Structure 1
Amino acid sequence: MTSCLLLLCALGLAAAVPVARALNRATWPERSPVLGLWVWQCLVTTALLSCLTALVLGTAAVFRTVRDHLSGSAPPGVAAAYQLSSAPGWTTALTLLMAVGANWTVAVLVGQLRAVRRARGAARARLRERAPELPAGLPAGRGHLLVLEEEYPDAWWMPGSPSQLVVTTGALRRLTDRQLDAVLAHERGHARARHAWLLHLSAALAGGFPKVPLFTHFCEQTHRLVELAADDTAARHCGHVTTALALIELNQHRGVLSRASSRGLLDDRVNRLLTPPATLEPRQRTHIAVAAALAPLLPLLIGFAPGIDALD
């Protein structure tokens, strides 16, 4: 059991610090942002599962009732293989640390969920007060739009039930029909991939654990990669140049991206659209995706290894 705990702790620390920093420095996610988001999610899942598995083993070692409950239905020899009753003294301190971390993780996620719901309700109430009727003459075939009377050009997807695509009258006046289609395709790309929840998750973890490189890099890269992924969706439907021009038209009046993003990200997105990077080869994408998918299984394999050996 001691070796299992040490391996789980080592795996969690490796995912949280050196692996996260290496992935943050990697350039390949820009070539395949959807795959990059998948790898980040798998890495975060690996770290969280490592801590959760260590917590379960530690709790079973510290509390006899938990140990009896877990080993009650196990085949003979499985419970003895873990040697939970002879766990070293530091197991208690480690279990307490893991329990505090688990409770804090749940607290920050629940707090983020409540904050998101409050913010969405307030935003919807403001939009209902300000949005006029859909202007006559707007080209059809773009789905359900909520047009907001606003001088500045902008467009965004408001998640919820029902979800809502919002466009300002400034955007309708400034963009061509093709550029507007690119903007709407970009926002619908966010909606289909449920990027909003991924952004909320990464923000909650980064806010709850600001000193952990894995969560801070996860938050930073998520904000970047979801925009690149949505840009690719728009470019496939409307073309790279049209999407780049739409970005410029929407943001040139303030010099920064909509929704409080940085100017540097806008420059990177426009340059990437005008000079698209070479995509990863199918074999490379497959290898990366499979390796990332297998990573969360490592903590489970470590946790079940003694029991599996006892069954042989």
Structure 2
Amino acid sequence: MSVGTWFRTDYDEPALPAGLPLTLSSGMNPAVTILDQMVRGNGIVGRVVGDFGAIALKIHGGGGPVRVAVSIGLDDVATRWWADRVRPSRLAAELPRLVAVRAQGRIHGGAVLARRQGWRGAASAEATLSFDLTAGEMRDDGLLLVEIAETAHPSWAAGRLCARSAIGLRINRIEVREQTAPTRTTGPSGATGCDFTVIQPGAPTAYRIVTAAVPSAPPLPLSPRNRVTRQKPARAVFKVARAARRAAVRALPSHPGAVEEVVAADLITGEPVPVETTRHDDETRVRLTGPVTRPVLLGSAKPQPTLSWRLTPVEPA
């Protein structure tokens, strides 16, 4: 008798392999076999509760190459979960999240998530990363392991990126389909909402940086921490104060100016990556001096929290 059978109960249901193509949008799907540092969801796959979150799926696909797309979300619940666990200062502003996406034990790319702030609240942010898995990377038992985890922050980004970034993030969807021809890793192509972005492996090396002004992020909402602050009168006061702080921060003028010096770092190790910056007719262009074999974090050397970046590929000069 195997050890695993000792812990089974009459209520346990066997995992049912999912066929391809697969669109997983609920953690209650019977194809979900393992969750580590995550809680299941109904309208989403799950939410990360620790410094990383992992999910294993049972897939019946024949062991051939597949294309995987992982959608990650940042919403108000994620910020509250993070604040309840990290306990930041009441004056600490919301910072962008930087995470890496790992599948079958290998990092395939990364994403930056920053919510756009409004007068009454902040909009949710979503990033989708798509990558290939070769036939050799798929396990013989049909298990697909997907993980979201934080990465090493370079020294020039200290204090500008959220610590323990994975806490509270959602996995909205996981899509898996058979792949007939190799395709490079792709990530979000729109504005990031902050002065950071990630270049995925195999991507072009030259880009034009398109910028836009965004409002400053207000202090994070914090849950009551003691018996006094849990009372309804105190909670009402805190709610009014949060709304006033948000309105005051939102009313501040945003004049970020031009893009400062651009720097780059390896997303996995945090080591510097050589990058060249040029200006053409009031626009900023960047070029990595070598091919992109691993995900690269790109950002401004000096903080510009009210500047949002969007990269547009250009032909190298």
Q: TM-score range by the shorter chain?
A: under 0.3
Larger proportion of helix: 1
Structure number having the greater strand percentage: 2
Tell me the TM-score normalized by structure 1. 0.23
With structure 2 as the length reference, what TM-score do the two structures score?
A: 0.23
Q: Which has the higher contact order (CA 8 A, sep 6+)?
A: 1
